[in-house]
Amino acid sequence: MQLGQRPRLVNGKLPVFAFPSELNYYADDRSSHKQVLTLYNPYEFPLRFKVLSTSPKKYTVIESEGTIKHGCCIDVVIRYKDVNPTYYGSRDKFRLQIYEQGQRKSLGRKDIVSMLFESSQEKGKDSEFEESESSVDVGGVPSSSQHLRDGTRYQSSGPSLLMILLTMACMVALMVPTQGDKESRLPEYLHLTINQKLIAAYILGLVTMVLLRT
């Protein structure tokens, strides 16, 4: 792909890269009332973005419009300003739309679901499960997600080395030149295609979500 060439459209639209894919707020956890939505631009040209909401009165969106330089990302802070019991369990949506500079027609869009929970423990109730007494690792120590008889739970010590290396690899992939970039001093074999950079951006977003929940 030549430098500046528009990437191939999917059903007439460009893929929009934003993470996380959902925003969860908890009434009993004030720190969760501010969520960060990261928008990525892996393309070889700047993008304008706009953040729309189905319930704008509930939220404060800092920088709901702006520009993302090529190969960069931007954080959009979304605060839940009206934590009202009547909204518990309600599902809202944020729509992210991207545009080419100077154009009004949207190049792509993505919807992000937002929900308010009464308690930080409420969302995890559906996914919790008890493991059998025989579920132990080779050393005989219960796994990190296993409930013990006394109700305690082992917690993971932090992100694994694999996660850290994968994050660094994706960041390097996004920073190296794109194929067709004649101004780069790096060898041609170190240049990546736009599709490879899209995959790296997607993986980086998924790893970021995992690390934030660790």
* SS3 (DSSP) at 214: coil
| Dist CA 141 CA 178 (whole Å) | 47
Residue 154's pLDDT band (cuts 50, 70, 90): very low
pLDDT computed for residue 59 by the predictor: 96
**Integer angstrom CA distances of residue 194 from 74, 123, 178, 185:** 19, 37, 7, 18
Q: Which residue has the tokens 């992000």?
A: 112
Q: What percent of the chain has pLDDT over 70?
A: 72
pLDDT computed for residue 167 by the predictor: 80
Q: Which domains does the chain have, with CATH numbers?
A: 17-120+157-213 (2.60.40.10)
Q: In what order do the strands lie in the sheet with 17-19?
A: 17-19, 34-41, 72-80, 59-62
Kindly state the average pLDDT of the residues 56-82. 92
Closest CA to 58 of 36, 90, 106, 18: 90
Task: Please give the model's pTM, rounded to 2 decimal places.
Answer: 0.57
Predicted confidence (pLDDT) per residue in 125-145, tens digit:
544 434 444 333 434 434 433
| Dist CA 205 CA 153 (whole Å) | 28
Kindly state the average pLDDT of the residues 177-200. 75
pLDDT computed for residue 27 by the predictor: 94
